[in-house]
Chain A
Amino acid sequence: MAEFSTSVKDAGDVNIIYLKGYLDAHTAPVLENTFSNLVDNGRYSLVVNFKELSYISSAGLGVFMAFIEKIRENKGDIKLSAMNDKVFNIFDLLGFPLLYEIYKEENEAVSKFSQIKKLENGK
């Protein structure tokens, strides 16, 4: 069967989640665990890197929906980055670009967080 794994990188205030393989109904709990660990530890500024993700099913998309509300309530966000065309097309069809910030590069997404931080500090 197709495999799926995640790894998390700590980049200051932001955590980057790397996805790899096939994300479907069977592997979705893996990502769910990753998210809930981060959220439980008060990490709300999250960037997801899709570079090595080859497939995402509806159940996989559901994981993002499950956590976004709580994360945004805590002034955090999930920003998506580095999707291949196929994966982006799936997000796009469902209208995710209207709900999530999607970036071509991981850096862009990370820097978006620090910009907000600067703005807040500037006040």
Chain B
Amino acid sequence: MSKLKFLKINGVELKSNLKFQTFIGLAAVLFLFRVFIYSADSIIWVIINELFVTVTLASLYFYLLDLIHLKTINPLALVMNIGIINALIFFLFTFSNVILGGLISKAESSNINHGLLYNLISFVYSMFIMGSLATVFLAFRELYFYRQKKNVSTYFNTMIFFFILASISSLLSKSPDLKYIKDTFFIISVLLILINSIRISWIAFIVKKEKISLLVLSIIISILFFVNLIHSSSDNIHAQMLTAFSPSLNLFLKIIMTYGAIYFSILFFTTLFHIPTAEAFDRKAQEVNFLQYFSKLITESVDFKELAETVTDIAIKVCNGNAAWIAWKEEDGFKSIANKNIGYYDSNNLTNFIFKNKLEKNSDQSSIIKLKKYSNRPQLSEEIFYLASAPLKAHNEIKGYLIIAKKNDVIFDDEDNNAMDTFSDYASLAIENSRLLEESIVKERLEKELDVAREIQRKILPAKNPEYRNLSISSVFIPAFEVGGDYYDFFEITKDKFGFIIADVSGKGISAAFIMAEIKGIFESLSQTFERPKDILIKANKILERTLDRKNFVSAAYGVFDLKKEIVTISRAGHCPVLLIRNNIAENLRPSGIGLGLNFGSQFIDSLDEIEIKLHDNDIIVLYTDGITEAKNKELEDFGSAHFEKILLDHSDCSTDEISNSVMREVTLFSQNNSQHDDITLVILKWKQNFNKDGEIEWQNSAPQLKTQVM
């Protein structure tokens, strides 16, 4: 039981082993039969002999069939195999008179039983022929079925059937009356061979180089088969020995030799006819391969440079060029990339030459340029005669050209042109894809950066406004998509005194956000050390000299509210004016001052002013950034300071929250069809001098909203 299991595991090996053993066994029986029993006089023994030979040959054939099926089939290798075996047979036949004759005469002269020796020689010789025939026939069978589209086994099996009939009928040839039977079967076999040999379909699938070697091989092999056929038909020792061994084996040999001669003659002519179209066929096959490869690349490749390299690499092969490059459009002309077989100096010269002479007609199709026509071609590579260019497009815009150059006199033909068109379309697609991907990566990175900037800004701005008995404060901040650099803050100095700042950092994004953070730190500490707004701004400017980039600056207004003295002191460094709404009049408080970071010398200090305002009841102080006054509508008109002041005046009786809500509502309405480009900041402070308890209640009732709105 266990042995059987083991046998099953090695199924394939065992099967062929078993067949090999069967063959060896049959061969041994055949040999013994011939030595001890066989007699050519008895018709029964002759028939039994033929049967043994047939069965042995069949078992050898099936054994070899198993072996060959383990390998992948290569038609050229099969042809080579047939050739080698055929050559061996050829040598054997040529020297059969010498070798076999010598051996037989030696056997006859020896003292040992020469009948046994003769038998041995003829047996080994016949076995060799059998092996060769089985192998060759098997190879023919594989060639026949290789790359066959239709089921053609019936034709082949019919042929085998007639082979066997012809072989067996050779027994009848002893009587001349019945010889016609053998001849008839033989002729039918030959006809079937002819029919079957015409179906050679695998030729088309091999490349040109292989076709040429096949042409040479097939003519040699067909000649060999013819020679061998003549040898086996003539009366020599070989024929005598093989006929003595088995007449049908001899006939089978003749049939196979005929088959070979016919098959390889036809193969020769078929190949010959295929050669002229071989190149075109190869090219189409190559094109298909490249396009397949390319469509795979489109979905995989991210790197633009790598892609460009592949494009030029394949373009040379598809269009049979000598050199290739991509002329990529840049702001200041074309730049060569991914050069193949050509230097950048030469390729740039050629590109410039093409476009200077307007040889490339900005068309959507590829075009061929003959440089020969231009006698004035200056300093161009002497070797190059023809150029073919095809546009590479993305978003319907020509991004560059794929240029292929030919060094010799062979012109680009229509085929090259077509191939180039197809190819450049694919290349355009691939390039567009990779560009889009790259863009989206950059965009994503920028968006991440902006997220960080917004987060910084959000953390820097005050979470809530300070609360005082006589002062109501309301603030609104709306960040732009790209962080605009607006900043406002309050700093408590004493119980009755606090500082406030509103600032706008130049630029946008993360760099603006970092400067904002710095400004916060500077003012936070300066507000505790110095009292006068002017001094604080001067010190702040001094500190910023060390860190601020030349092209960056900060507009700021800083003020101090003294609630006890009822005084507000304001200094302005280039910022929008501070608005004072009093008695239904809007006053622009605009003490002179240069923006922080614009000047670090005496001009900044000398020009900086400071104003002091004695607060009246219901005074409203408005701090804002240009995000409000420069908010734009669809016609790109500004919201404007007049519009802004009017809203403030119209609502001056309302609470601070109501005022800021009204302003924001108007700004939003005004710019609803346009995106917000800059941060918007609005801080409103309202002074209630004659504070009483009712007043406070009145405020709270009328202003139920949150004190700080950060949208």
Contact = CB atoms under 8 A, between A and B. Distances in A.
A89 to B, nearest CB: 9
**Residue among A57, A58, A63, A98 with the most chain B CB within 10 A?**
A58
A99 B630 CA distance: 24
17 contacts: A25-B507, A55-B630, A58-B506, A58-B555, A62-B552, A65-B552, A65-B553, A65-B598, A66-B550, A93-B574, A93-B575, A93-B576, A93-B577, A94-B595, A95-B593, A95-B599, A98-B603
A62 B506 contact: yes
A86 B575 CA distance: 15
Contacts of A99: 594, 598-599, 603
B542 interface: no
Question: Which of under 10, 10 to 19, 20 to 34, or 35 or more describes the interface residues of A?
Answer: 20 to 34
B624 to A, nearest CB: 12
Interface string A32-68: 0000000000000000000000110111011101100
Contact of A98 (B505, B506, B594): B594
B313 interface: no
Nearest to A60: B506
Nearest to B597: A65
A43 to B, nearest CB: 19
**Residue among A63, A69, A99 with the most chain B CB within 10 A?**
A99
The 6 closest A-B pairs by CB, nearest first: A95-B594, A58-B506, A62-B551, A66-B551, A94-B574, A94-B595
A61 B699 CA distance: 42
Interface in B527-584: 550-553, 555, 573-577
B508 A25 contact: yes
Contacts of A94: 553, 555, 574, 594-595, 598
A2 interface: yes
A96 to B, nearest CB: 8
A65 B551 contact: yes
A65 B594 CA distance: 13
Contacts of A98: 594, 599, 603, 607
Contacts of B485: 58
Given A55-B636, A58-B507, 18 more contacts: A25-B482, A57-B678, A58-B505, A65-B598, A69-B550, A86-B638, A93-B575, A94-B553, A94-B555, A94-B574, A94-B594, A94-B595, A95-B574, A95-B592, A95-B594, A98-B603, A98-B607, A99-B603
Contacts of B607: 95, 98
Contacts of B506: 58-59, 61-62
A80 to B, nearest CB: 14
Nearest to B506: A58
Interface of A: 2, 24-25, 54-55, 57-59, 61-63, 65-66, 69, 86, 90, 93-96, 98-99
B551 A63 contact: yes
A62 B575 CA distance: 15
Contacts of A24: 677
Contacts of B573: 95
A55 B678 CA distance: 13
Interface string B468-485: 000000000000001001
B594 A58 contact: no
Contact of B508 (A59, A65, A86, A90): A59
Nearest to A100: B598
A59 B509 CA distance: 11
**Residue among A62, A93, A94 with the most chain B CB within 10 A?**
A94
B645 interface: no
B504 interface: yes
Contacts of B603: 98-99
Contacts of B677: 24
A98 B601 CA distance: 12
B638 A58 contact: no
Contacts of B636: 2, 54-55
Contacts of B599: 95, 98-99
A83 B504 CA distance: 23
Interface string B583-626: 00000000011110111000100010000000000000000001
B76 to A, nearest CB: 63
A86 B637 CA distance: 11
**Residue among A54, A96, A98 with the most chain B CB within 10 A?**
A98
B576 to A, nearest CB: 6
Contacts of A96: 598
Interface string B392-413: 0000000000000000000000
A25 B594 CA distance: 21
Interface string B458-495: 00000000000000000000000010010000000000
B384 to A, nearest CB: 35
Contacts of A54: 636
Contact of B553 (A57, A58, A86, A90): A58
Contacts of A55: 630, 636
B626 to A, nearest CB: 8
**Residue among A65, A86, A90, A96 with the most chain B CB within 10 A?**
A65
A95 B573 CA distance: 8
Contacts of B574: 93-95
A90 B677 CA distance: 16
A62 B550 CA distance: 8
B552 to A, nearest CB: 6
A61 to B, nearest CB: 7
A60 to B, nearest CB: 9
B482 A58 contact: no
Given A65-B598, A95-B593, A58 B504 contact: yes
Contact of B555 (A2, A25, A69, A93): A93
Nearest to B592: A95
Contacts of B597: 65
B103 to A, nearest CB: 98
A62 B507 contact: yes
Nearest to A61: B506
B550 A65 contact: yes
A66 B598 CA distance: 10
Given A62-B552, A66-B550, A66-B551, A95 B507 contact: no
Nearest to A32: B551
Nearest to B482: A25
Nearest to B629: A89
Contacts of B598: 65, 94-96, 99
B71 to A, nearest CB: 66
A114 B105 CA distance: 127
A54 B504 CA distance: 21
B558 to A, nearest CB: 15
A122 to B, nearest CB: 28
B553 A61 contact: yes
A59 B678 CA distance: 12
Contacts of B592: 95
Nearest to B590: A93
Contacts of B575: 93
Contact of A59 (B507, B594, B595, B638): B507
B611 to A, nearest CB: 16
Interface string B94-110: 00000000000000000
